[in-house]
């Protein structure tokens, strides 16, 4: 499978390494063993390279800045044509790209294919957006004047992505940034260099026989967190879009703010789902299982807390336990597998520590948590776990990036919403109820305080058309659909006087 995936890019095929630095068509293959990418599937060495140097990052940013001066003047529909061509190339290599995601992240085939589809979908969305970057005409109090607003390209966008969505999250940022007239410098997770190189290579191909081929509209720098810090500190980076942990976001924000730069943060989730007495329990169970164990619990939108009304908590536990017992855990490349591996040993240790803490705080393990040895090479495979915990357990305040689901019992909708909102994070939330009042209260100002609030659908699986992001410690950023594009542009308010007088606003006379 790895050989099949590698045929997409000659540099890997010839060298057996991936490049630490690529800008436009300049592929500089890093030789050495500075960064090793091990497959979560079986522990196999996939790639290795030296990190891009600080000097190479400096050059990438400079190239991007110079390219921006040209790219910003290309009409937006023409910029959209580059994105359309890129999306078409992704379609052609859909399966091979999904194989790379499986190898580098450990996602099962269906989820990997779904992530590549997200790349395609956001390209389609953005091509349409390239003809809709509209401003407003605004009523003015002055006669013979017209007031309007325009949206202009912002500059160089620095994109820092996490391991769990190595293609989709970059595409959410890159496709929109490019159509908005910006250029990109990308620092991916050290774990997913092959995925990054594949997309960079396809984007370069998309510029073939176009004017953009001579510009570094996208640069890729693989390396450690030092490169990310360099992006944060460089004044030429107009916007830093960073996806990762809350701890990472708390480092990024002050670095960018210290130079009064813009940042867009997509951080931790700690998501909750409320189940009320009127809920369709079969539907709720299906939603909870996928949300809790999909990607082996390693999504920012994964379900962490299941808040059940006292009248349904017992049947929900019974149904979930039965569903968990039927889960097929194993090699994500195998047909029928539903749960693949954790990304590494560190994630397994964090999961075990969280289970121990929860037990010390009054929690009880219902099912799961055991490690499955000898599933596939040196991959880290675990049984997804369910625990019952008190509503006041401190463990509920933290997000464990693993398939660990806490069940909390409550007596009312008001208590359920209080429990849900009483955490630092605020990304995704859901309620299962067939009472319209429950749903409307949950969606009201007095309901969920999350950026995503769903009714009778789980916490994961957001569509491209809606703005994606969360509140509080989740960072407040919005990516992908709706009007998220405005974060990648600068707004200019224009007033035009087509008369012969010079009236001032607010009726001021200065004569």
The catalytic residue positions are: 266, 300
- 170-179 b/e with 16+ CB inside 10 Å = b? bbbbbbbbbb
SS (H, E, C) 424-457: CEECEEEEECCCHHHHHHHHCCCCCCCCEEEECC
Pairing of strands 183-187, 218-221: parallel
3-state DSSP call for residue 159? strand
Is 42 exposed, middle or buried (CB count within 10 Å of its CB: 0-12, 13-18, 19+)? middle
Please report, for residues 67, 117, 204, 207, 466, the alpha-carbon distance to residue 463 in angstroms, rounded to integers and kept in the order given.
32, 11, 27, 28, 6
7 phi/psi in degrees, rounded to 5: -65, -10
Q: DSSP secondary-structure letter at 473?
A: T
Tokens of 389: 């915990």
Q: How far is CA 134 from its chain centroid? A: 26
* Distance spanning both ends of the chain, measured CA to CA: 79
């Amino acid at each position: 499978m790895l050989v099949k995936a590698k045929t997409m890019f000659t540099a890997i095929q010839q060298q057996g390494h991936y490049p630490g630095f690529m800008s436009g068509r300049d592929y500089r293959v890093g030789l050495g063993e500075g960064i090793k990418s091990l497959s979560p599937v079986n522990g196999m060495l996939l790639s290795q390279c030296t990190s891009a140097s600080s000097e190479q990052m400096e050059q990438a940013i400079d190239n991007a800045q110079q390219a921006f001066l040209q790219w910003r003047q290309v009409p937006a529909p023409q910029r959209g044509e580059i994105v359309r061509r890129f999306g078409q190339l992704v379609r052609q290599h859909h399966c091979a790209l999904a194989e790379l995601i499986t190898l580098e992240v450990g996602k099962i085939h269906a989820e990997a294919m779904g992530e590549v589809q997200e790349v395609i979908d956001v390209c389609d969305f953005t091509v349409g957006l390239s003809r809709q970057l509209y401003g407003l005409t605004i009523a003015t109090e002055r006669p013979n004047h017209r007031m309007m607003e325009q949206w202009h390209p912002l500059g160089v966008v620095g994109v820092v992505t996490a391991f769990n969505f190595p293609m989709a999250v970059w595409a959410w940022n890159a496709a929109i940034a490019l159509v908005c007239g910006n250029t990109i410098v990308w620092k991916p997770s050290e774990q997913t260099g092959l995925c990054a190189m594949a997309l960079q290579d396809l984007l370069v191909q998309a510029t073939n026989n176009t004017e953009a081929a001579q510009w570094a509209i996208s640069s890729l720098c693989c390396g450690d967190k030092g490169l990310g810090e360099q992006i944060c500190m460089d004044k030429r980076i107009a916007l830093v879009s960073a996806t990762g942990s809350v701890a990472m976001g708390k480092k990024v924000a002050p670095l960018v703010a210290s130079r009064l730069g813009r940042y867009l943060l997509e951080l931790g989730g700690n998501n909750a789902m409320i189940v009320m007495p009127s809920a369709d329990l079969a539907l709720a169970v299906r939603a909870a299982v996928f949300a809790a164990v999909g990607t082996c619990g390693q999504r920012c939108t994964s379900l962490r807390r299941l808040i059940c009304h006292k009248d349904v908590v017992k049947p929900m536990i019974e149904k979930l336990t039965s569903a968990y017992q039927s889960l097929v855990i194993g090699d994500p490349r195998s047909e029928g597998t539903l749960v693949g591996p954790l990304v590494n040993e560190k994630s397994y240790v964090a999961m075990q520590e969280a289970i121990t803490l929860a037990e010390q705080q009054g929690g009880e393990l219902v099912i799961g948590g055991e490690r499955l040895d000898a599933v596939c090479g040196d991959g880290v495979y675990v049984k997804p776990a369910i625990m019952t915990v008190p509503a006041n357990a401190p463990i509920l305040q933290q997000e464990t990036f693993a398939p660990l689901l806490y069940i909390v019992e409550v007596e009312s909708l008001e208590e359920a919403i209080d429990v849900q909102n009483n955490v630092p994070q605020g990304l995704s939330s859901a309620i299962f109820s067939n009472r319209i009042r429950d749903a409307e209260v949950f969606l009201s100002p007095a309901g969920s305080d999350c950026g995503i609030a769903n009714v009778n659908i789980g916490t994961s699986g957001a569509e491209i058309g809606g703005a994606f992001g969360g509140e509080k410690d989740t960072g407040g950023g919005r990516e992908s659909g709706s009007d998220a594009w405005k974060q990648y542009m600068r707004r200019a308010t224009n007033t035009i006087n087509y008369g012969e007088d010079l009236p001032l606003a607010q009726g001021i006379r200065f004569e």
